[in-house]
Amino acid sequence: MNASSGFWVYNTAERELNVLDPAAKLLLDYLRNVAHAPENAVLDLEALPEGFREFGQGLLAFSQSVLETTALAKDISKGNLNIKLPPPQNEIAAPLKALHASLKHLTWQTQQVAKGDYQQRVDFMGDFSAAFNTMTKQLEQQRTALLQEIEIRQKENYILMQNKKLFEMLAAQIAQWIIVTDADTGEWLFVSRETDEALTDSGSKQQLQEWLKRQGQAICKKEACARELELVNSEGARYYSVSSHPLYWHQHNALAFVITDISNERERLNDLQNIVNFDTLTQVYNRHYGMKVLNEWLAARDSFILCFADIDNLKLVNDRFGHSEGDQYIIQVANSLREFSPAAIVCRIGGDEFMLLVKDWEPETAKKQLELLRNRLACCRSGQNITYEYSISYGIIAVGTSNTMQANDLLGVADERMYEYKREYKMRNRNKRI
């Protein structure tokens, strides 16, 4: 019975109160309070005639069931499921109690879904069941796809970690030194070695930092480049070959510098260069280097003096005193010619022949200097029991900017002048017999 029909009953009953028994009025007032003011709903069974008391007891039981059912409906409508249910004898509340049980179970299923149990299914709530089951099925599919993606990423991360460890191990073992810098700021982003022999000097590290920063500003940032670097520290200079490679490093436009210490190679190259350019006995330049310089000066049309010098009586010294003594003779002559001028190029071009090249000298001045050196040389002795004197003969030719002669022709002229000198002074050192 709804509220409007209840009002009609009560109003109709009130119009007929004049003909109804007073017991009926008590019962109607009680029903009115049950419907509109349950807190005031009190029925005094003792006030009813004895014939109405059993009816009154039934009405009290019915009203209690209605009130319990109404309270349950209000709690369910508010989502409050943790309540005390009406007793079993309340048959009116049975459908709501069944709904309460379904909602409790559905709540538990939802909690299970929230915990990751996507196997939950609902088959007792019509359209809601279909929507719920579709949702859990989609969640299960999404979780499966996500787990597969996570597994793939974990495998990739594991491979990356292994590659990283391998790279770090190789970077620490290889001779090259790797530095990654920000291409714009020069900030160091990665260093394969914490220390290096070249950086034990703080000045060297600062040199390197400044050099790398300049390279980042100057070199092409789209392709690999190669440079050479010299770092000077308190112990001397070290040399490096540096290749740079552009790359993207942890959200930075970067440059990877692969630095190779080539100091030992440079030293070996210098040694080889010395072998190529220097005479091993005297440590003056050899014929190869002397002819190279001569041809360069001729090609540049420089003005210079060419002197061809020959050691006097070297063969006789070798025959009488041995080649060891002859070698000492050659060394003494080479040392003497070195004293001509710091700017002179002194070369041994044969066993007993030397060539001297010097710029900015006049022929007469050069002749006086050679005579001075020759006189000094004559005062030297290889040993206390040696009776011969050290001596050289020489020929000088001045080469000007208008020269048209080739290198061999010039040497031929200087050689002829040397023999003229030798014949002119043939007897000058023969006061003592060898």
DSSP letters, 297-353, are: HHHTT--EEEEEEEETTHHHHHHHH-HHHHHHHHHHHHHHHHTT-TT-EEEE-SSSE
Residues 224 and 304 in one domain: no
Question: How many distinct helices (H) and strands (E) make up the chain?
Answer: 12, 10
pLDDT of residue 292: 95
User: Is 156 part of a structural domain of the chain?
Assistant: no
Same domain, 308 and 386: yes
140: in domain:
no
Q: Quick check: 187 pLDDT over 90?
A: no
Name the residue with higher pLDDT: 15 or 281.
281
Could you tell me which residue, 147 or 198, shows the higher pLDDT? 147
Tokens of 179: 């530095």
Instruction: Find residue 257's DSSP bridge partners.
Output: 179, 244
Quote the tokens at residue 101.
């049980």
Is the model more confident about 13 or about 38?
A: 38
Diameter of the chain by CA atoms? 185
Residues 287 and 417 both lie in one domain: yes
* Integer Cα distance of 208 and 199 in angstroms: 9
Residue 259 lies in a domain: yes
Strand order in the sheet with 304-311: 285-286, 345-348, 353-359, 304-311, 392-399
Same domain for 90 and 64? yes
Measured CA angle at 201 (ends 249, 213), to 5 deg: 35
Burial class (CB in 10 A: 0-12, 13-18, 19+), 15: exposed
Is residue 120, in this structure, part of any structural domain at all?
Answer: no
Do 330 and 396 lie in one domain? The reply is yes
- Based on the fold, state whether residues 251 and 283 are members of the same structural domain: no
325 and 228 co-located in one domain:
no
Q: What's the distance, Cα to Cα, between the start and end of the chain in Å?
A: 159
CATH number at residue 186: 3.30.450.20
Alpha-carbon span 224 to 411, nearest angstrom = 49
Same domain assignment for residues 284 and 411: yes
pLDDT tier for residue 253 given thresholds of 50, 70 and 90: confident
Closest CA to 341 of 353, 329, 356: 356
Residue 315, domain extent: 278-424
Helical (H) or strand (E) element with 393: strand 392-399
* CATH assignment at residue 329: 3.30.70.270
Among 82-96, 106-120, 289-303, the range with the most confident prediction by mean pLDDT is 289-303
Angle between helices 323-338 and 363-378 (to 10 degrees): 140
- The Cβ-side half-sphere exposure at 55, using a 13 Å CA radius, reads 13
Residues 294 and 389 in one domain: yes
Boundary-marking domain end, from 85, 107, 129: 107
The sheet carrying 177-182 orders its strands as 188-191, 177-182, 252-261, 236-249, 225-233
User: What span, in angstroms and rounded, lies between the C-alpha atoms of 270 and 235?
Assistant: 19
- Rounded to the nearest 5 degrees, what angle is found at the Cα of 183, between the Cα atoms of 178 and 185? 110
Alpha carbon distance 284, 346 (integer Å): 6
Least-confidence region, from 130-139, 235-244, 335-344: 235-244
For residues 344 and 233, membership in a common domain is answered with no
Q: What is the pLDDT of residue 219?
A: 61
245, 266, 287 - which closes a domain:
266
In contact, 44 and 26? CB cutoff 8 Å: yes
Element (H, E) at 203: helix 202-218
**Is 155 part of a structural domain of the chain?**
no
Please report, for residues 84, 138, 317, 428, the alpha-carbon distance to residue 431 in angstroms, rounded to integers and kept in the order given: 146, 121, 16, 7
pLDDT at 19 over 50: no
Task: Note whether residue 158 is domain-resident.
Answer: no
In 83-197, the DSSP E strands lie at 177-182, 188-191
- Residue-level pLDDT at 18: 43
pTM: 0.47
For 164-190, letters b (16+ CB in 10 Å) and e give eeeeeeeeeeeebbbbbbbbeebeeee
pLDDT band at 250 (very low <50, low <70, confident <90, very high): confident
Cα distances (Å, whole numbers) of residue 263 to 176, 259, 270, 313 = 13, 12, 10, 45
Residue 154 lies in a domain: no
Strands 353-359 and 285-286: unpaired
Comparing 223 with 126, the larger pLDDT belongs to 126
Same structural domain for residues 253 and 288? no
d(CA 215, CA 254): 12
The answer to whether position 167 is within a domain reads no
**Region 13-20: what's the mean pLDDT?**
49
Interval 35-47: pLDDT, tens:
888 888 888 888 8
Number of folded domains that form the chain: 3
Compute the distance between CA of residue 315 and CA of residue 322 in angstroms, rounded to an integer: 10
Q: Of 49, 81, 107, which residue constitutes the final position of a domain?
A: 107
Q: Among 2-11, 238-247, 375-384, name the most confident range.
A: 238-247
What per-residue confidence (pLDDT) applies to 7? 47
What span, in angstroms and rounded, lies between the C-alpha atoms of 427 and 409? 29
Q: What is the dihedral of CA 247, 252, 255, 257, to 10 degrees?
A: -100
Same domain, 242 and 287: no
